[in-house]
Structure 1
Amino acid sequence: MTDMTPISTERLDALRHCADAFGGDVARWPAERRETFADILDADEAQAILVEARDLDGFLNAATAPRMSEDLTNRIMAAYTAPKPQTGLFDFLRGIAPVMRLAPAGVLAGVGALGIASGLMSASAQDTLTPEYEALAYMDDLSLTALNENGGIEWDAE
């Protein structure tokens, strides 16, 4: 309105961002933001940004009030019962009962994981069989006769 110098688009974008964050009422902005934009608030472009932000503020303020009948509030309050304080072990166990229904699934998963882990550990701990022992394990019709001079196993097929 009063000043005819053009305002940079970066400065207008910063003003638009500030108006989006704090609203169209400049009095509600933080003091340092008001000081930053004090020199351009009278410009037409800045006024258009603030009018748009005020329109959005009015729309949001009108939409935030929930419409609930007083009868609904009274019915909710009449149906509410305060929880009883826990006094003993039985009340404690009754309180954790909903969680305990998941216990069988947890035990089953734990046992399965333990089985997989023990199988992997025992399989990796075994030594591989030498060809001689492997032959003895798979061919039951061989009879062990003696060791040769090199320490190898000799057998005869029956």
Structure 2
Amino acid sequence: MQRPWLTPQELRAWRAYRDLTLVLDDALDQQLRRESGLSHLSYSVLVFLSEAPERRLRMTDLAAELKIARTRLSYTVSRMEEAGWVRREDSAGDKRAQMAVLTDVGLAVLEDAAPGHAAMVRAAVFDRLTPEQVHAFGEACEIILAGLTGPDRPTLPTELPWRR
């Protein structure tokens, strides 16, 4: 029989992680908004598109990369289109699919925002850890993520957000 409650050590680690994710996401969002006028989500959209072949991704694939619902991505991309940072195109190979494409303006916005964002991530996370801790942190995150998104993931009451 499984233990229903977390051990004191597990509870400490869980609460630290929970609080960290909330505070870190807010800090990154505030830094990006203050210095670049971007939300953390918009910045992430620009990053994934900049790394994609021809700076374009299917909207469904972009939602999966971002781990967000397709409706939230659609709303975000609409706002980014208004700013001229991305555009949507019909997919040449699949009439049902739309592509999100990073514009030259969007790439310039990303290139302007990236140094401040990287400095914030470094100061908030990596400057506080030893190289061994960075390795362990990355490994732990990868293991947990694979457990939630891989073939052995737990059964959830609803589908993962990007598949909804």
Shared fold, TM over 0.5: no
Pick the structure with greater CA Rg. Answer: 1
For normalisation by structure 1, the TM-score amounts to 0.22
* Higher RCO, 1 vs 2 (CA within 8 Å, ≥6 residues apart): 2
For normalisation by structure 2, the TM-score amounts to 0.21
| Structure with the bigger percentage of helix | 2
